[in-house]
Structure 1
Amino acid sequence: MKIFKNFTSNDYIQNDVSTTCIGGFDGVHQGHQQLMKSANKFAKDYQVVTFDTLPKLYFNSKHKLLTTNEDKTKLIQNFNPVNLVFINFDHVVKYSPKEFCNMLEINLKTKNIFVGSDFKFGLNREGDVDYLIKHFGNDSIHIIDDYQYKDNKVSSTLIKSYLSEGKVELANESLGYKYSFTGNVIKGEQKGTLIGFPTANLEVNNNIQIPKIGVYEVDVNINNLNYAGIMNIGYKPTLSEDKKLSLEVHIFNFNNDIYNTGLTVNFKSFIRDEKKFNNVDELIQQINKDIDKINKN
């Protein structure tokens, strides 16, 4: 897979492709996967076209994402497109639908397009699938039906709502894989170590969707090695007066120094809400119960 970053109208792909799969691809969820599978079945020489900055994030800096571009690249690579093109959104933000279609046709050699029914493009989102049909012809536009799971249309927005409610299993089933984020291990207050449960404190991309405050069963990947663990997202009310949200993971059977190391947390299930205990001993008892519950799964 060849990767094009910051693609503009001054750039041209060199290899031959017949088919373009286009969308935002935030989360690369089951709906996106169905889109790519359909394109791949139609033509092995298909490419994926998306944007370096998701339009919703471009217009709203507080918009949350399911995946970084690095995560997105790794996930899309599993579906074997010949190209992955990140269009520089700032470059095309004022393009008319016609200008955008010309870029698809000339710079990206697009002949056939696979797209979701709700795809919008061009200045003020004036372009839609009907415009694509008008420009490229009816036989060239392949509109993929919405992917349904438990009577709901799978979308990035729905998955983020699941995560914000702690419904990790529903989010994972809609994604087709375990929701995860990657962070850098930073120095914390080390209060976990004092009570017998050392934790890795994570610093993550500010735009990434953080699940609901609470305690989670997780898998942790460090240097391509996997470990079981338990994660707390919250404010540690029993141990701290700090009002800053913390992301802490206790990794089972692990005691290496991993400060300034990147690690990935894969969410498996929501265990319980965070709560303030009467004392540290009650907190320790509850953590042991949480770990026992995970070990029985």
Structure 2
Amino acid sequence: MKIINIHHPLKASFEQKEKIILAMGYFDGIHKGHQKVINQAKSIADEKGMPLGVLTYDHKPAVVYDQLSPHDKRDIILQKNKYKELERLGVDIVFEVNYSFNFQNQSPQEFVDNYLIRFNADTVVAGTDHTYGAKDATMDLLPKYASGRFDVVSVDLADYHLSKISSTRIRRNLDQGHIDTVNMLLGRPFRTDGTVVHGFARGRELGYPTANIDHDELQWLPVIGVYIVDVWIGEEKHHGMASIGRNVTFGDKNPITVEINILDFNDNIYGEVLEIDWLHRLRGEVKFEGVEKLIEQLKSDEQMTRKYFKK
């Protein structure tokens, strides 16, 4: 898959010779709704024998308007992992545009002429709620701006239990710990990745050694709690239980950490980048009266985790 980074305005030297099918969207999460858009575009591309392209952005459009809190600036899926998913879905070319004020400030007609036409789009595909340009830029109006130069396909986003699948809904469920719902909306386990770093080694002292994971600050994480996870070390998958929390049994002012006890595993993996599939939330964080009570709970968590994987 080819990735083309674009800074507005598009350079005069830019040229896309071959006709393409183009899907548009930020695609934060690549959830089932996004997959429906991309799969529709892929079907058209296969039928017409053309490459599949995606027009997306280097960050959330709302950043331009300072509408995001530091919490909301995080992403469900980091850009590098988004592109892995796009490649898996059959995308051939990604046009990654730096989403700036000047780019957004184009009129819809300028956006179409400056980008969609120069991308040599045969057909443009997006969700029905997708917008572009400064104003009056709905998918219903895109055929008017296209003026017959390309076809337009609007895709109704899939529903789940009568509620639209959206990145907002996924983020809300992550914040509420509803990881099973998140995974159904994504159509795959919610995945993060991070580097194994040194911690306080309390887990080893308790008989439950943990890998302490340093995540990118832009990665959206599930809410504080204890989770059942799959952990990928390279191509090897291992089962485990993960804790996101402040280790409140050992003090009230600890920073939030991510620690994973990998079942039946005792290798030194400091410095490894792990991929973590978050499968199920066992419980919230509890402040125990002493270490013995904590160990009892960890044993119960382990039993529940092993039982989960035997299903």
TM-score under structure 2 length normalisation: 0.90
- Indicate the residue corresponding to 2:3 in structure 1: 3
Call closer, same or farther: CA 1:159–1:208 in 2, change over 3 Å.
same
Match of 1:288 among 280, 299, 302: 299
Name the SS of the counterpart of 1:268 in structure 2.
strand
Q: Which runs of 5+ in 1 are unaligned?
A: none
For residues 108-135 of structure 1, what are the alpha-carbon distances to aligned partners after superposition, in whole Å with 9 as ceiling and x for unaligned? Answer: 1123111111111223x54221331211
Match of 1:176 among 171, 174, 187: 187
Task: Give the superposition deviation at 1:219.
Answer: 0.3
1:56 maps onto 2:56 in alignment: no
| Counterpart code for 2:84 | K
- Indicate the residue corresponding to 1:68 in structure 2: 78
1:141 maps onto 2:147 in alignment: no
1:39 maps onto 2:41 in alignment: yes
The answer to whether the 8 A contact 1:17-1:47 is kept is: no
1:201 maps onto 2:212 in alignment: yes
Distance in 1 separating the partners of 2:165 and 2:41: 19
The answer to whether the 8 A contact 2:230-2:279 is kept is: yes
Match of 2:177 among 160, 166, 169: 166
Distance in 2 separating the partners of 1:57 and 1:280: 45
Task: Give the superposition deviation at 1:61.
Answer: 5.9
Match of 1:21 among 1, 20, 23: 23
Distance in 2 separating the partners of 1:96 and 1:258: 52
The answer to whether the 8 A contact 2:36-2:157 is kept is: no
RMSD over aligned Cα, in angstroms? 1.8
Call closer, same or farther: CA 1:227–1:153 in 2, change over 3 Å.
same
| Counterpart code for 1:106 | I
Distance in 2 separating the partners of 1:209 and 1:193: 27
TM-score under structure 1 length normalisation: 0.94
Task: Give the superposition deviation at 1:3.
Answer: 1.6
Match of 2:113 among 102, 110, 113: 102
- Indicate the residue corresponding to 1:250 in structure 2: 261
Q: Give runs of ≥4 in structure 1 deviating > 4 Å.
A: none
Q: Which runs of 5+ in 2 are unaligned?
A: none
For residues 240-270 of structure 1, what are the alpha-carbon distances to aligned partners after superposition, in whole Å with 9 as ceiling and x for unaligned? Answer: 4443111111111112222222111110101
Task: Give the superposition deviation at 1:15.
Answer: 4.9
For residues 48-68 of structure 1, what are the alpha-carbon distances to aligned partners after superposition, in whole Å with 9 as ceiling and x for unaligned? Answer: 111111213454362221011
- Indicate the residue corresponding to 2:89 in structure 1: 79
Identical pairs, percent: 28
Name the SS of the counterpart of 2:276 in structure 1.
strand
